[in-house]
């Protein structure tokens, strides 16, 4: 049911800000200035879409999207949609260059971590009020917002669950997945001591993207990345320290290791060396491909355990319309069509990208899967970082301090303080 081709590029599209992007950010909202600046769309016309539309999309989504937009063209005979696939590693630079040159497409798939930056540059058209966003998962819908303004709609989503080997859990005496922090710790210990695992759980010991696994524990302890106005960071708090302390304890207690080879999670899981890890939906297909028919019935997932909450990470991509589009009405009609539940269910069948619209999960292709509905339940409590301009720089600093905590024993208090200091020096960009 899952494919390996969609892994990790779902949420790390804005991997590193280029010098060009930083320079653009310093320029502020230049695209908004002047009397000739395009005006925001406030409503969508009732008639069919017409004219030519240019659309950019990344990775396998860019390759598969024309199969979907063909149906949009059939429903709107007067429109022609041209989709340009873009490699993920070139996309950020291509977007920022196009924004500067005012050569943007009409609409595009945009990584959730880019929303703050592109909105700050004045490049995105605010979501018209006539688009109903109430049917989206709340966490996904929040990724479209910069301040109080929404730009675009969630297109597809992913979240993180705990994967575990059912057969080894039974050997360890675990018959019911844990629901709280103490239970997860006890399960990891039992996997090591009773099921013969080298480590009970595979947790990333810092390094690129580790914040995506750490922050859910911090959020579940009540932490926040910024204040409500998103102008000041709030990393150095007791709640953040509580999440960091829990995460570090797996390494301190030798239930997670810092010496595991990178990018070997599937192999370690299949061999039983490390029979638990936290990741997204793409990993089910990856594990099944490596382990074959023998491993498939032993792949289990459960929601992240609860502290104050049981909050996971939400990633994915949004679909936006650019303010400089010359055909914004038809572009928004395309975006609205892409966010229809039936369209999203069809897109899942083409791509295995999970729908951002809740009602699309009722489609049998999703509802009958043994694992997917658990991801749907987790999406009811999932968060993403606020859409701030400088998030990627802050994330890099966060990852570096987590590595010191996991590998060198830096205290959670010092880790939280160091993250706060670095983040404050970077600033939110607002």
| Total number of domains in the chain | 2
Residues 46 and 114 in one domain: yes
The range of the structural domain enclosing residue 170 comes to: 161-312+388-426
Give pLDDT tens digits for 265-274: 999 999 999 9
Residues 233 and 208 in one domain: yes
Nearest to residue 158, comparing CAs of 285, 288, 334? 285
CATH number of the domain residue 182 falls in: 3.40.190.10
Tell me the CA distances in angstroms from 255 to 48, 55, 276, one per residue in order. 58, 47, 11
Buried b (16+ CB within 10 A) or exposed e, 248-260: bebbeeebbbeeb
Residues 59 and 142 in one domain: yes
**Contacts of the segment 324-327: beta carbons below 8 A, 24+ positions apart:** 324/31, 324/38, 324/102, 324/104, 324/123, 325/38, 325/104, 325/105, 325/106, 325/107, 325/125, 326/106, 327/51, 327/52, 327/53, 327/106
Residues 180 and 70 in one domain: no
Residues 327 and 375 in one domain: yes
Residues 271 and 396 in one domain: yes
Tell me the pLDDT of the chain (430 aa) as tens digits: 333 333 333 333 333 333 333 333 333 333 343 444 566 776 788 899 999 999 999 999 999 999 999 999 999 999 999 999 999 999 999 999 999 999 999 999 999 989 999 999 999 999 999 899 999 999 999 999 998 999 999 999 999 999 999 999 999 999 999 999 999 999 999 999 999 999 999 999 999 999 999 999 999 999 999 999 889 999 999 999 999 999 999 999 999 999 999 899 999 999 999 999 999 999 999 999 999 999 999 999 999 999 999 999 999 999 999 999 999 999 999 999 999 999 999 999 999 999 999 999 999 999 999 999 999 999 999 999 999 899 989 999 999 999 999 999 999 999 999 999 999 999 998 6
Residues 144 and 243 in one domain: no
Tell me the CA distances in angstroms from 292 to 8, 149, 195, 284, 286, one per residue in order. 22, 47, 21, 11, 10
Residues 143 and 176 in one domain: no
Give pLDDT tens digits for 150-200: 999 999 999 999 999 999 999 999 999 999 999 999 999 999 999 999 999
Neighbour-count burial of 368, counting CB atoms closer than 10 A to its CB (0-12 exposed, 13-18 middle, 19+ buried): exposed
Residues 293 and 373 in one domain: no
Residues 268 and 294 in one domain: yes
Residues 146 and 167 in one domain: no
Residues 151 and 169 in one domain: no
CA 323 – CA 297 distance, rounded (Å): 49
Tell me the CA distances in angstroms from 106 to 36, 95, 141, 180, 326, one per residue in order. 18, 12, 21, 46, 7
């Amino acid at each position: 049911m899952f494919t390996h081709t969609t892994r990790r590029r779902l949420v790390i599209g804005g991997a590193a800000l280029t010098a060009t992007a930083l320079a653009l950010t310093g320029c502020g909202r230049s695209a908004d200035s002047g009397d000739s600046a395009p005006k925001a769309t406030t409503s969508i016309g009732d008639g069919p879409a017409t004219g030519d539309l240019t659309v950019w999309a990344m990775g396998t989504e860019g390759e598969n999207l024309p199969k979907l937009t063909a149906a949009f063209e059939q429903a709107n005979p007067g429109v022609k949609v041209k989709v340009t696939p873009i490699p993920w590693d070139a996309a950020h630079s291509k977007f920022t260059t196009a924004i500067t040159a005012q050569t943007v497409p009409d609409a595009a798939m945009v990584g959730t971590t880019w929303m703050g930056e592109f909105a700050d540059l004045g490049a995105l058209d605010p979501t018209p009020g006539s688009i109903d966003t109430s049917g989206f998962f709340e966490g996904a819908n929040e990724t479209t917002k910069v301040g109080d303004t929404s730009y675009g709609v969630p297109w597809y989503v992913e979240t993180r669950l705990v994967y575990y080997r059912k057969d080894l859990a039974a050997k360890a005496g675990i018959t019911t997945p844990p629901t709280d922090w103490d239970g997860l710790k006890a399960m990891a210990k039992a996997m090591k001591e009773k099921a013969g695992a080298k480590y009970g759980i595979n947790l990333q010991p810092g390094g690129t993207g580790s914040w995506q696994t750490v922050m859910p524990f911090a959020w579940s302890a009540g932490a926040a990345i910024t204040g409500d106005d998103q102008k000041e960071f709030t990393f150095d708090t007791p709640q953040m320290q509580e999440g960091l302390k829990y995460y570090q304890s797996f390494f301190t207690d030798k239930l997670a290791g810092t010496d595991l080879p990178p990018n070997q999670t599937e192999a370690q899981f299949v061999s039983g060396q490390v029979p638990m890890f936290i990741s997204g939906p793409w990993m089910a297909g990856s594990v099944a491909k490596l382990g074959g028919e023998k491993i498939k019935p032993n792949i289990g997932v459960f929601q992240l355990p609860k502290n104050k909450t049981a909050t996971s990470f939400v990633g994915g991509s949004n679909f936006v319309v650019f303010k400089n589009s010359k055909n914004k009405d038809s572009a928004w009609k395309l975006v609205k069509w892409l966010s229809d539940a039936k369209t999203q269910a069809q897109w899942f069948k083409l791509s295995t990208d999970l729908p951002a619209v809740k009602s699309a999960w009722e489609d049998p292709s999703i509802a009958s899967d043994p694992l997917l509905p658990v991801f749907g339940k987790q999406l009811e409590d999932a968060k993403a970082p606020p859409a701030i301009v400088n998030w990627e720089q802050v994330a890099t600093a966060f990852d570096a301090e987590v590595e010191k905590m996991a590998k060198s024993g830096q205290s959670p208090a010092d880790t939280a303080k160091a993250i706060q200091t670095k983040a404050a020096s970077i600033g939110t960009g607002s």
